[in-house]
Amino acid sequence: MTLRGVVFFRSVYFGTYAHCKTLYSDVIQPVTNAEKSLVHLCSAASAGKFTVHFTRVSETDVVLVLGA
């Protein structure tokens, strides 16, 4: 993976994480440390899942690029 790919992947991840954190904070309204941790956990899981599906490359695309 090139640096350009990593930068794109991380920018999508952190943008999604920030958006999810805002949404989950509004829904959960964390007061205790456990609730704050739950907001971070849910945000990270959601951002990871979205980023993997958004940036996934199919095997067909890889074969076409590599010419295998």
32: burial class by Cβ within 10 Å (0-12, 13-18, 19+)?
A: exposed
Return d(Cα 68, Cα 62) in angstroms, integer: 9
Over 90: is that where the pLDDT of 9 sits? no
Max distance between CA atoms of the chain, in angstroms, equals: 55
Q: How confident is the model at residue 61 (pLDDT cuts 50, 70, 90)?
A: low
pLDDT exceeds 90 at position 62: no
pLDDT in tens, 29-40: 999 999 999 999
| DSSP 8-state class, residue 39 | H
Q: What pTM does this model have? A: 0.75
